A and B are shown apart, each in its own frame.
Chain A
Amino acid sequence: MRLEPPGGMARRQGFEAGRKEHESDDDMNGNLSKLTSFHVTGIKPALEAEDAGERSFRPALFAGYGDLTKLRYDYPVVLVESAAGSKFAQSLSDIVDGILREIAPQGAAGERLRKHVLKLEEELRGLVSQKGGASLLDLWDVAEKSLLTRTEKAARDLLRDSLERARNALHVDGEVLDCDEATPTRFITRGWNAVQAAKIHAVKKRIEHLVLKLSDILRADYMKTEEARSAEIFRASVGTAYDEAFDFSAMSGILAKERTGDLLPDSRRQRVQAALTVLQAQRFHAPLHDFEQTVVRQPLYDFVFDSCAVALEAFRGRLPEMVEVIKAMSIAELEIQNLYRESRHEPFFERFDEGALGPDDLALFPSYLICLRGERIDPAEAGRIFELLNSDLPAKILVQTDDLLRNLSLSAGQTSSVGGLELGTMALGLNKAFVLQATNASLYKQREQIVNGLRRDGPALFSVFSGAMPRVAGVTPYLLAGAAEESRAFPVFAYDPAAGPDWALRFRIDDNPQAEADWPVHRMMYEDRDFQGTSETVAFTFVDFALCDGRHGADRVPVARSDWHDDMIPVVEHLDLAEGHAPDKIPYVLMVDENDRLQRVVVDDKLIRAARRCGAMWHSLQELGGINNSHARQLLDREREVWEQKKAEELAKLAKRAEPAGDASPAVAAPPPAAPVEATIEVEVAAEAPSDEPYIETPRCTTCNECTELNGKLFAYDENMQAYIADLDAGPYRQLVEAAESCQVSIIHPGKPRNPNEPNLDELLERAAPFN
């Protein structure tokens, strides 16, 4: 989310006129000291009777955002049924854009369709907040009807035509989600379902293949039994229509005499039967096909939990059964390929227990989805979360945070419990689990990362701020969630240990607004006291976000214009100053009241301290994400220093060399142009001196049999079926020369003769010469 007003339109606000323009300097100084005292102590001053009341203020940058149903943004989101990968969630705007691309031609011709369909989208957006959980098609019907009813009769036919064409181009359906408290759980659960469906499908297919093959083994064995060749079985297989045409007893008598091979040994039959029973009775995967079940299956296991303790207990309770399934699958694979050897495998499977299960075995089972609320996590549960995240278990943990600022209200001496925000950054230290921190405002944008984390075999943590803060009235969860990202109160980051070996590949924070900056800044346009349009750059800090919360009404004081003073500085400037270095400066933020009038609001030091903590945490994340990394900066400084020193020395040398000659030519000559690179290159190599020893260039042998047929003892093939000289004593020099002559690729080099008394040596040497 960006906090610019929609459509780039400037929204004009009246600057508070300021009623006390003629107050004396003494009064001003008095009020300033009261404000300073408030900033330091947090005790609210009695400046004006009308300001003392609890007025509703919002950050000034919120003024541009009113009714979100008029905006086209990521919500509502449709959780598409039976969609794979990140397509499980599609925003209504994306779906409508897709429809318009399909049905509305470019330019004026498609204008009517675009207008009508976008109107329907706006209608749908309004409906979603009232009819939570409804399907897109149901809402579409209601919106269409309501739109048609409100349209004048003359225009109704055209509208109906547009909507009908759009409806025909709508290819998806599913639950429609608005941005609220329930969103994170439903969004992640749907993503988990989509990932599980795809992942488990392959496993189910494999199990069913094994069941079928094991059944085939037993069936083939059964067909060799006398029972299978009995008259009754034959009669039953032919049926009643032609049973009188056959003499089944005679048939059985003939076939029973035929030798059919040995039956399976009992131990093997029992092993195959046992594996088959385990695979058919397993409760982890629903069968894909209607199989002839020989065992009764218990209800399937559930894999969605709302407590780590219960999930862990379930996992541990199921471990023995998982071991049995893996064992059965392994036995089945070996049996099907006829590779099971009792002497080798029996001892292995006897010792096969929970310790033998590896991550790849665990990946064959569904992952465990655990949905938690950050506010309700007690220390024991927090411990279990880390236990899971530090394991190889396929635990996917969603921690949803609604009240991001609850720890801010604690007084000194009180300890804060661990919530979603802390869990996210602490989990990074484990270095093992996938971690995604996001808010409701960016869930849709992060859908690919979500699928990525859900697909991984190991544990994953999804820490999500919903924006549905209990004490914030008048600001939608979407806006608040976006504000938490903007203010760095709940930054977005993803850590994927499988993405690569280093942090540069594993960690990313670039989905945050203006990730390079300490605080994002925006241009704000407003109307001043003289009704003239003006603008200024405003930063959105943690203080702006915290002041949305009604609980922090005591931490702020609106200041009348008459009390403005040079010592009042924007919070962002105050935060830039070192802590305690500007005791006389009073920090303020710009806010708007109920009437969209701009106010300076002074805040106490408690909020400033919280903002500093938040900024420090953001800097740490930036460093991890490669932005302003202190180690890199230090290294760069050192390297630059060395480089500058080296360059200075080189320049000094050059200058010295140039001096006596008095040459005015440039100190450094330009490098010669690079030689053109040709596509075809010619490799130059030094020729080797010829050898006196006979040899074959074995790697170049084409296995043509010429030499081996000449003398199979002198020449032989190696393990790659390429010739070499096997035994020089097995043949005379003459055969070496003949082989060299007959070799079509000329790779036999006869060298010099070993026996000086061999006949016709001179002639042979002459013939050998071209091959040496």
Chain B
Amino acid sequence: MGIPVSECLLKLMAEGYTLDDYRGDIPPRWCTGCGDNGILAAVQRLCRDEQLPPERTVFVSGIGCSSRFPHYMNAYGFHGLHGRALPVAEGIKLRRPDLHVFVSTGDGDCCSIGAAHWIHAIRYNMDMTVLMHDNQIYGLTKKQASPTSPRGVKSNTTPRGTYLDPLNPLSVTLGVANVSFVAQAVDWIPELLYDIISEAYHHKGFSFVRILQRCPEFMPHQFDPWVQNPDKMLLLTHEKGVQLSAGLSKVYRKQEAHDPGDLHRAREIASLSEQIPVGILYRDSDVPCYEDVRMVDRLHTPDVIKGVLEEEFDKFTIWPSE
């Protein structure tokens, strides 16, 4: 027997999950043509391929179109407050490091109201997969400019067009201490979207994947130049990153062999404006995870729990004799 008996038996007992096992009871209510559908399909595929037990998998989100994600997964979910997906996910991971934690957040949720949490979550580097659905607009509330809306976009809050250049989530992430995994995917290359999410899942640490995602309702044709002209895309390939299939290589001919260990080049790639880079920009597996650094070597035995509770209660107890 190559592995201990107990592990072997558990493997034998593992149920064969199909993609249907990860579908929630509610069918997705995103618009037809919305890129979120593709992201959901890729994540469900990943769960099936990795055979993640639904009861050991958690999807956490904030507010926005993207944040409806947990409803459509058959797993544990936490649809949280606006911008607060990451602190909730951190709490879950800290207390239950055995769970697979995924976070779905949007450009508004993550880069605006949740920006402070985002910065510190990168620094904490807790082991979770963060999917930032970036459609460059607030869609759920019917079109307001988000921090990643391109300059000049007219919206309900910016009727004369936005005045500022957009925030670049990749550059920001790559600039924070302890960054350990940064990738970019687009919903219109599903094969690569799956590969990148899979790499992010396998990375131990805070895996940040920005997914450019089409919003057919409020930002129609925003990505058309790139969707219709594959030569405007730059695919990052490397033996330590993702590799392209022959079919994909045939369509997307602009490729760069980029070593994900090269932070300097990653920052340059993140700053490209004409081309959309797709692939793993940066990966450092040696950055310690906060949950490991803070690991407490203590079992929560009944005695320990009782002791802690007693201690807390004693702080408020009014003794009859006093």
Contacts and interface: CB of A to CB of B under 8 A. Distances in A.
Interface of A: 205, 208-209, 212, 215, 219, 241, 288-292, 326-327, 329-330, 332-334, 337, 339, 341, 345, 348, 352, 356-358, 360-361, 363-364, 679-685, 699-706, 709, 719-722, 744-746
Given A292-B302, A680-B255, 20 more contacts: A208-B299, A241-B320, A289-B299, A291-B301, A329-B5, A334-B6, A339-B10, A361-B4, A683-B250, A685-B250, A700-B251, A702-B187, A702-B188, A703-B40, A704-B37, A705-B33, A706-B32, A720-B45, A721-B40, A721-B41
Given A208-B299, A212-B301, A681 B256 contact: yes
B3 interface: yes
A740 to B, nearest CB: 14
A683 B298 CA distance: 56
Interface string B126-159: 0000000000000000000000000000000000
A704 B34 contact: yes
Interface string B3-29: 111110110010000110000000000
B273 interface: no
B141 to A, nearest CB: 22
23 contacts: A209-B299, A212-B299, A289-B298, A290-B303, A329-B5, A330-B9, A334-B13, A348-B9, A358-B5, A363-B4, A679-B258, A680-B234, A680-B255, A681-B255, A681-B257, A683-B249, A683-B250, A685-B253, A703-B37, A703-B190, A705-B32, A705-B33, A744-B214
A356 B299 contact: no
B5 A326 contact: yes
Contacts of A699: 190-191, 245, 247-248
Given A685-B250, A720-B45, A746-B228, A334 B10 contact: yes
B13 to A, nearest CB: 5
B267 interface: no
A744 to B, nearest CB: 6
A720 B41 CA distance: 7
B1 A360 contact: yes
A757 B1 CA distance: 66
Contacts of B214: 744
A706 B34 CA distance: 10
A704 B32 contact: yes
A326 B4 contact: yes
Given A360-B3, A683-B249, A700 B190 contact: yes
B242 to A, nearest CB: 14
B256 A705 contact: no
B166 interface: no
Contact of B9 (A212, A241, A333, A681): A333
Nearest to A337: B10
Interface in B160-182: none
Contacts of B258: 679
A744 B41 contact: no
Contacts of B253: 682-685
Nearest to B255: A681
B190 A722 contact: yes
B254 interface: yes
Contacts of A289: 298-299, 301
Contact of B38 (A684, A702, A746): A702
B225 to A, nearest CB: 13
Contacts of A361: 1, 4-5
Q: Which 6 A-B pairs have the closest CB atoms?
A: A721-B41, A358-B1, A330-B6, A702-B38, A703-B41, A333-B6
Contacts of B255: 680-683
A292 B303 contact: yes
B54 interface: no
B77 interface: no
Contacts of B116: none
Contacts of B19: 719-721
A700 to B, nearest CB: 7
A356 B1 contact: yes
Contact of A703 (B2, B7, B38, B257): B38
Nearest to B27: A705
B263 to A, nearest CB: 16
Nearest to A681: B255
B20 to A, nearest CB: 9
A745 B299 contact: no
Contact of A709 (B32, B216, B248, B254): B32
A241 B313 CA distance: 14
Interface in B34-60: 34-35, 37-38, 40-41, 44-45
Contacts of B320: 241
B33 A744 contact: yes
A346 to B, nearest CB: 12
B189 interface: yes
A289 B254 CA distance: 59
A333 B9 CA distance: 9
B227 interface: yes
Nearest to A216: B302
Contacts of B251: 700
B69 to A, nearest CB: 14
A507 B283 CA distance: 34
A744 B38 contact: no
Interface in B221-269: 227-228, 234, 245, 247-251, 253-258
Contacts of A208: 299
A702 B1 contact: no
Contacts of B10: 333-334, 337, 339
Contact of B5 (A330, A679, A705, A719): A330
A705 B37 contact: yes
Interface in B172-220: 187-191, 214, 216
A358 B2 CA distance: 7
A683 B35 CA distance: 27
B33 A704 contact: yes
